[in-house]
């Protein structure tokens, strides 16, 4: 629980150079590759386009994998810049031509990990779940793959900002 409080206290990062940090994060620090892994966990990243706007980052990810029509898999995602303590407050898949829905594999993987943790130590699981519910205003038991992707991208961006 102390780790969660410490991580969330880091959300008070100054946003004066947010756009520059965001560009550097997505270009030089594998932000897009990390996001691409969250969107389609098993696909192989190929290349990307991105555009940093004042209120969101639009990312188009191309994978080496082919969909059922032998077309290259392409996904467009909007990562909305937060207005509160979190760097990002929403993630939206705007387009996807893969036969697997965006974030589906991440959601299933996180569900299995969550069940393993819950079964191995129910008391700690419940304490962490309660703390996350209070600090984030949402219950992780209700999260889907997109919610987990948003959580992961926030943690990765905070790590990037605090390790500079």
pLDDT in 10s for each residue of the chain, 164 residues: 555 545 544 444 444 345 567 777 776 667 888 898 899 988 888 888 888 888 899 999 999 887 777 888 999 999 998 887 788 999 999 999 998 999 999 999 999 999 998 999 999 999 999 998 998 888 999 999 999 999 999 988 888 888 86
Residue 118 within a domain: no
> Buried b vs exposed e over 50-65: b needs ≥16 C-beta within 10 Å?
bebeeebbebbbbbee
Domain boundaries, position 68 = 2-102+147-162
Residue 66 within a domain: yes
Residue 152 within a domain: yes
What does the pLDDT read at residue 110? 92
What does the pLDDT read at residue 30? 78
Residue 128 within a domain: no
Q: Count up the domains in the chain and report the number.
A: 1
What does the pLDDT read at residue 106? 93
Residue 78 within a domain: yes
Residue 124 within a domain: no
| pTM for the full predicted model | 0.81
What does the pLDDT read at residue 131? 92
Residue 125 within a domain: no
Residue 58 within a domain: yes
């Amino acid at each position: 629980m102390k780790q969660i409080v410490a991580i969330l206290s880091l959300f008070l990062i100054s946003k004066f150079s947010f756009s520059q940090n965001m560009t550097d994060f997505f270009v030089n620090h594998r932000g897009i590759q990390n996001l691409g892994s969250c969107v389609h966990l098993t696909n192989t990243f190929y290349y990307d386009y991105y555009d940093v706007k004042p209120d969101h980052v639009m990312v188009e990810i191309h994978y080496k994998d082919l969909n059922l029509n032998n077309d290259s898999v392409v996904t467009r995602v909007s990562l909305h810049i937060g207005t509160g303590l979190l760097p990002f407050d929403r993630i939206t898949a705007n387009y996807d031509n893969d036969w697997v829905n965006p974030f589906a594999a991440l959601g299933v993987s996180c569900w299995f990990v969550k069940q393993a943790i819950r079964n191995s130590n129910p008391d700690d699981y419940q304490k962490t779940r309660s703390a996350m519910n209070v600090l984030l205003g949402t219950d992780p038991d209700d999260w889907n793959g997109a919610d987990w992707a948003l959580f992961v991208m926030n943690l990765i961006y905070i790590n990037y900002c605090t390790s500079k």
